[in-house]
Chains A and B, each alone.
Chain A
């Protein structure tokens, strides 16, 4: 299985801060990376797919980048509704696998 390692596991931030979350895959996933946001009691919500493509309803303060084994999710100016846990997921090889999550608090 491809292991996905996120860092940090949690980040303390304030409204307006720039937040960066990284995800490292145990092998090259050639850009087949997605990012999800999950709030307590809710299902994960897809934000970004193919490493950098935002879903149409996702605010432009979210961005994704990376290649090979290393990927980044950036929130350029944290908003109150962005406090949540974020997960990366590789869609390169079955079984699809997720990172362990990064809590933005």
Chain B
């Protein structure tokens, strides 16, 4: 049973970098693809990107240039950094796993609300 938990600051100032960590437990970290997804009332659910323990990754082109996802297998963690944030990046950020269910997000963290505000 995959368990995921997001952690990080709840408020980020405009133009600064949003940083979140997802801690994974209950499964082999090497068996899954690890994703970040965000949700806003206006744009709905938006896939941000994924990373594999090998370092293979891909990002949503809408955020490319601002997003970096990295992985720390010994700690069973992966992280999200989103630079130059604006109010439009205010969202609930979820980490989620993809483990073979047709490429779909089979387990999700509880979500972390990040507000961009000065």
Q: How far is the CA of A53 from the CA of B102 in the complex (A)?
A: 9
Q: Among the listed B44, B61, B94, B104, which residue makes an inter-chain contact with A43, where contact means beta carbons less than 8 Å apart? A: B94
Of B9-17, B78-86, B106-114, the one contacting chain A is B106-114
A-B contact count (CB 8 A): 62
Interface on chain A toward B: helix, strand, loop, or mixed SS?
loop
0/1 interface trace, chain B 90-118, chain A, CB 8 Å (1 if under): 00001010000111111111110000000
Interface on chain B toward A: helix, strand, loop, or mixed SS?
loop
Which A residue's beta carbon lies closest to that of B106? A46
* Residues 71-105 of A at the B interface (beta carbon under 8 Å): 87, 89, 91, 94-101
Query: Are the C-beta atoms of B104 and A98 separated by less than 8 Å?
Result: no
A50 on the B face (CB < 8 A): yes
Give every chain A residue within 8 A of B103 (Cβ-Cβ). 32, 34, 49, 91, 96
A44 on the B face (CB < 8 A): yes
Query: Are the C-beta atoms of A46 and B104 separated by less than 8 Å?
Result: yes
Give every chain B residue within 8 A of A42 (Cβ-Cβ). 110
Give every chain B residue within 8 A of A100 (Cβ-Cβ). 44
Give every chain B residue within 8 A of A1 (Cβ-Cβ). 61
Given contacts A45-B108, A46-B105, A46-B106, contact A95 B44 (CB under 8 A): no
Query: Are the C-beta atoms of B111 and A101 separated by less than 8 Å?
Result: no
Q: How far is the CA of A32 from the CA of B105 in the complex (A)?
A: 12
Query: Are the C-beta atoms of A43 and B47 separated by less than 8 Å?
Result: no
Given contacts A43-B111, A44-B108, A100-B44, contact A91 B94 (CB under 8 A): no
Given contacts A55-B101, A89-B104, contact A97 B47 (CB under 8 A): yes
Q: How far is the CA of A98 from the CA of B45 in the complex (A)?
A: 6
* Residues 35-76 of B at the A interface (beta carbon under 8 Å): 44-47, 58, 60-62
Residues of B within 8 A of A (CB): 44-47, 58, 60-62, 94, 96, 101-111
